[in-house]
Structure formats: structure tokens, C-alpha cells
A and B are shown apart, each in its own frame.
Chain A
């Protein structure tokens, strides 16, 4: 799986958009980008995933650059409950692989 790089921490004001970047410059053509988050003492929560095109769901938007070497997760209106560690994961679409969760980005949403 391609290695990902994320900033260790970010702050965001409540109600504002949170933009979380991820670099994956060695991504290969069959690797998807997944975003998860983990709130303390809970299991990872799936947010969104994509291959090439931008994606949007009820939780967030995922913007993938044209060369696919980086992506941005956007939480459009951050709330205090969005405070968590966010993980960007790049992996192929098959079974039996570890989820390589790096250190992630610790997002703090401030009142």
C-alpha cells in the first residue's frame, strides 16, 4: 500500500469548513483513497472513499487531485463532535490486507 503523509494536528472553528490534506505521491493506478476517523476509545468510523473522481456523501467531500498524488477531506460545517483523529489510507481493492493506519491528523474543533 502507498505511504500517506498527513499533518499531525489541525484546529478548526466550530461551524467552519475543515480541510484535511493527505499526500500519497506513490499511489498506483488500482489504489483507492479511504478516509476514516477514530474518536477516543471507539472503533474507526468510515467516512468516504474514492479512486479518481471527487466524491461527496452526507458526512464529507473528498477532493482528489488530477495526478492522484494528494487528496483533501472536507467537513463542510465542523462541529465539536467532529473532534477526532482522521486517517487517510491508500490501498488496493482486495482482501486480506492490513489497514495501514498512520499517525493521522488530530483535528480539534474549537467552540
Chain B
């Protein structure tokens, strides 16, 4: 089975802090994705990566950056956390489309 592991289930940070969310997959997938999920807005793509050291912006990249130094690991960075970044963050990985994306259990991030 595909395993996508996110480092924290719950995280509380303060406004202005630099926040790191980590994601690891164990299936040698080329593609990795970061989404946020908010009530009424569904899933929105922040960034994705189709290879090591490659990254592409999704629909809402502002305020975020990513790092992919190794194939199995994709990190999301909130450069200076703000309260409007309070959300559920979901990491996913996949082989080439149309094969499906597999999601981690999410990190519920609260910015105070």
C-alpha cells in the first residue's frame, strides 16, 4: 500500500514564525503535491513537484515555498505565518497521470 506520512497531525504556531511541514512517501513516486483544505473551498493546490529539485506553483502559492531535495520528501514552508494560513494541509504523491494521487492524513495547522 502507498504510504504518505506527514510529520505532524496537529501544529500550533504564532504569527510571523517560519513553519515547516514535512511529507514523506515510500512508493518511489515522481510527483508530490501540497494542498490546503478549507470548509466550503475544497482542496486547493499550493505547489507540486514532478522531480527532485523541481517545483511548480499551484493556484495559491503566495506566502508559501517548497523544497524537494530527495525524491521521497517534499517540504512546505510558510515563510512568515499569518492567521489566514490556519488550515488543514494535505500532502499527496502519485506516479504519472492518470494514476491517482494518494494523500497523507493531513496536518491541522493553527496560527495564533
Q: Mark A residues whose CB is within 8 Å of B.
A: 32, 34, 41-46, 49, 51, 93-102
Contacts and interface: CB of A to CB of B under 8 A. Distances in A.
Contacts of B4: 43
Contacts, number: 56
Contacts of A100: 42-43
B16 interface: no
Contacts of A46: 100-103
Interface in B52-68: 56, 58-59
A46 B90 CA distance: 14
Nearest to B60: A98
A107 B75 CA distance: 34
A45 B103 contact: yes
A43 B97 contact: no
Interface residues of B, number: 25
B105 interface: yes
Nearest to B90: A43
Interface residues of chain B: helix, strand, loop or mixed (majority): strand
B106 A43 contact: yes
Contacts of B108: 41
A102 B42 CA distance: 7
Given A96-B48, A96-B58, A43 B105 contact: yes
B105 A95 contact: no
Given A46-B102, A49-B100, A95 B50 contact: yes
Contact of B45 (A49, A93, A94, A96): A96
Contacts of B101: 46, 99
Contacts of B43: 44, 98-101
